[in-house]
Amino acid sequence: MTNHGKYETRLDPALWAYIDALNAWYPPEIIGLPIDKQRAVYDKMCRAFHQGRPPGVKARDGLIAAAGRDIPVRRYRLAGKAAAAMVVYYHGGGFILGGLESHDDICAEICAGTGFDVLSVDYRLAPEHVHPAAFDDAVTAFEWAAATTGLPLVLCGESAGGNLAAGVAQATRRGAAIGQVLIYPELGGDQSTGSYVEHADAPLLSLHDIAFYRDVRSTKAQSSDDPTFSPLRDRDFSGLPPTVIVTADCDPLSSDGETYRDRILASGGKAWRHEEPRLVHSFLRARTTVPAAAGAFARIIAAVAALGKGEWPY
Enumerate the active-site residues: 159, 251, 281
Beta carbons of 94 and 88 less than 8 angstroms apart = no
What residues contact 65, with CB distance under 8 A and at least 6 apart? Answer: none
Any long-range contacts for 21-29 (C-beta under 8 Å, 24+ apart)? 22/49, 22/204, 22/282, 22/285, 23/203, 23/204, 25/49, 28/206, 28/209
What residues contact 68, with CB distance under 8 A and at least 6 apart? Answer: none
Beta carbons of 156 and 183 less than 8 angstroms apart = yes
The values of phi and psi at residue 92, to 5°, are: -90, -175
What residues contact 258, with CB distance under 8 A and at least 6 apart? Answer: 194, 245, 247, 273, 275
Measured CA to CA, the distance from residue 122 to residue 140 in angstroms comes to 12
Closest by CA to 268, choosing from 239, 246, 296, is: 239
Measured CA to CA, the distance from residue 154 to residue 302 in angstroms comes to 13
